[in-house]
């Protein structure tokens, strides 16, 4: 019976490239594995897999009765809806430990690094399996995306070292140029429906019993959003209501200015603002904030638990 | 700030030896760590640490505001009562993934092997840190205990290989003789208060909202229990009521005959027996069953979820 290797809902590049890279490794060590995905590819991810000649992994939403290897999350809200009826055989992740549980012993490769693909690189090293050139390319791009070319505070020495190794294998010494090309694709928001933008990189969290949705858009110049900010605000208000969420936050991240503007609707706006020391009437610019995982989720979790 | 390395409540040899071995490794790689414990040592564990000249780790029950590294479990019921107020920085475990969560990214070294100390051995190898002779000795004993000298179905090649490496480092080629010595200590139940026996290796699980306690006593000859079986039955009945448990199971495991007798009290005895295909009036002997983790918990979990 094959194992399905899957990232999270609304997959990002780490989820898709990680599923492909990990499924290849599993097959190499004699465990039949199929990469799959829980949603459409973002323009950035499409750019990466086109660049290295891959097809999108199988789109598959239901896993009851199947074996699954989870990539890039441990949250039930981000996993397949029927995950409780599947057997989780393993998890690779770099986030806080969420509420996924398993019914049998499993393997978890979880590390506080910038990207799941950095950990998958460690797994290739552990099993002494050579990484093919094209797989090295997509793994490298996933790490450059998740760490925002090493600017994100989630970046570790392990991420930098992994990118350097993978760049050598992929034969792409100038990986910074490739990263900038990738970020340009990501920054092209004009003409995209607002809902598609909001959901492009969106995750739901369970915070002390409250459903909190957090989207993030990383661009080279945040001014691209100036003309559509009221549309974005209207859309997150709708999306909050549709999903019975307590709070919905959209982070507009400027990777060159290295900070994020936070737009939000919440049943308790005061609580959310207090989590980031924002005054009632201040602008919502958070200087130096690039990482949802490290700079947004923990203070929010703290605010909800207090 | 030091990290406390702690096993589970009612610590077994894996929890205690693992805390000592992992704290040593962490100190060697520059992270200050202190081994600690959540309860008294079993006679087996006392034998091991005496044999290799260690003191019992610090007895400490409260961890609010502290950093902790968890060994040998991922279940809230087995963790410190105030674990939600601590920061979990890492987990080493070999069980199913339980309901512990963290508020920040962490490392998890979880593998489906026979013993947490087998994974700690992998961590020493990963960090290229030499294992001192005495620490190799306690790690080896923990693996021999958890795998019942490789008889348990949880045993993997990784466990055997770890024991062989550790036996070399510890300078104990005849590790089987040491294991039998250890099992003799474990089998000496005469004169021990019944409650102490029941709680010697006892774990609570959350099964679909029900609290299920499962104790296990591994001995060389199960007939040592013949004269106290009614006392054991009376005591688990009391213990079930005291903890508002749905079910309380005690496994009497004969490591030579390689099977377990199951004694139990439950709000739904039929459900429990059906999980193990036991007839209503049959004896409760389960041939070949040595592992709570692999042969008792999964079918029970299945029965509670169905």
Asked if A105 and B301 come within 8 Å (Cβ–Cβ), the reply is no
Asked if A103 and B95 come within 8 Å (Cβ–Cβ), the reply is no
Burial A77-109 (b: 16+ CB within 10 A, else e): bbbbeebbebbbbbbbbbbbbbebbbbbbbbbb
Residues 90-129 of A with CB under 8 A from B: 91, 94-112, 126
Q: Chains A and B: how many Cβ contacts under 8 Å?
A: 80
Model confidence at A282: pLDDT above 80: no
Asked if A103 and B154 come within 8 Å (Cβ–Cβ), the reply is no
Percent of chain A with pLDDT over 90: 93
In this structure, whether the domain defined by B194-305 belongs to CATH 3.40.640.10 is answered with no
- d(Cα A272, Cα A269) in Å, to the nearest integer? 5
What's the pLDDT at B103?
Answer: 85
Closest approach of B164 to chain A, Cα-based (Å):
20
Q: Which two tokens stand for residue A1?
A: 């019976």
CB-CB: which of A110, A154, A298 is closest to B108? A110
| Per-residue pLDDT tens over the stretch B33-55 | 999 999 999 999 999 999 999 99
**DSSP string covering B164-177, please?**
HHHHHHHT-S-HHH
Q: Which residue of B has its CA nearest to A304?
A: B103
Higher-confidence residue of B244 and A280: namely B244
Residues of chain B with pLDDT under 70: 281-282
- d(Cα A233, Cα B178) in Å, to the nearest integer? 69
The CATH-assigned architecture of domain B3-184 is Alpha-Beta Complex (3.90)
Range A20-30 average pLDDT = 98
ipTM for the complex shown: 0.88
Domain ranges within chain A, ordered by starting residue: 3-184, 194-305
What's the pLDDT at A160?
Answer: 98
Closest approach of B36 to chain A, Cα-based (Å):
22
**Mean pLDDT value across chain B:** 95
Asked if B293 and A110 come within 8 Å (Cβ–Cβ), the reply is no
Asked if A106 and B100 come within 8 Å (Cβ–Cβ), the reply is no
Closest approach of B117 to chain A, Cα-based (Å):
15
- d(Cα B11, Cα B200) in Å, to the nearest integer? 9
Residues 158-197 of A with CB under 8 A from B: none
């Amino acid at each position: 019976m094959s194992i399905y290797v899957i990232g999270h809902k609304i997959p990002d590049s780490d989820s898709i490239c990680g599923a492909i890279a990990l499924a290849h490794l599993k097959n190499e060590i004699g465990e039949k594995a199929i990469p799959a995905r829980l949603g459409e590819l973002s323009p950035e991810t499409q750019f990466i897999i086109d660049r290295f000649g891959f097809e999108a992994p199988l789109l598959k939403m239901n896993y009851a009765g199947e074996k699954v290897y989870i990539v890039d999350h441990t949250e039930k809200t981000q996993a397949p809806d029927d995950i409780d009826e599947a057997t989780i055989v393993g998890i690779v992740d770099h986030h806080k430990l969420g509420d996924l549980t398993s019914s049998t012993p499993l393997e978890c490769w979880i590390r506080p690094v910038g990207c799941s693909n950095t950990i998958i690189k460690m797994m290739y090293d552990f099993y002494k399996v050579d990484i093919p050139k094209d797989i090295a390319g997509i793994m490298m791009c996933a790490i450059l995306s998740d760490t925002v070319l090493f600017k994100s505070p989630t970046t570790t020495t392990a991420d930098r070292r992994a990118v350097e190794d993978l760049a050598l294998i992929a034969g792409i010494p100038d990986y910074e140029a490739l990263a900038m090309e990738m970020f340009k694709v990501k920054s092209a928001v004009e003409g995209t429906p607002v809902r598609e933008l909001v959901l492009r990189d969106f995750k739901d969290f369970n915070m002390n019993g409250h459903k909190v949705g957090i989207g993030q858009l990383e661009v080279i110049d945040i001014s691209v959003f100036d003309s559509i900010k009221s549309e974005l605000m209207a859309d997150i208000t709708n999306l909050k209501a549709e999903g019975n969420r307590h709070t919905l936050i959209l982070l507009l991240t400027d990777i060159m200015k290295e900070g994020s503007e936070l737009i939000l609707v919440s049943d308790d706006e005061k609580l959310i603002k207090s989590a980031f020391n924002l005054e009632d009437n201040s602008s919502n610019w958070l200087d130096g904030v690039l990482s949802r995982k490290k700079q947004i989720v923990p203070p929010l979790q703290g605010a909800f638990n207090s």
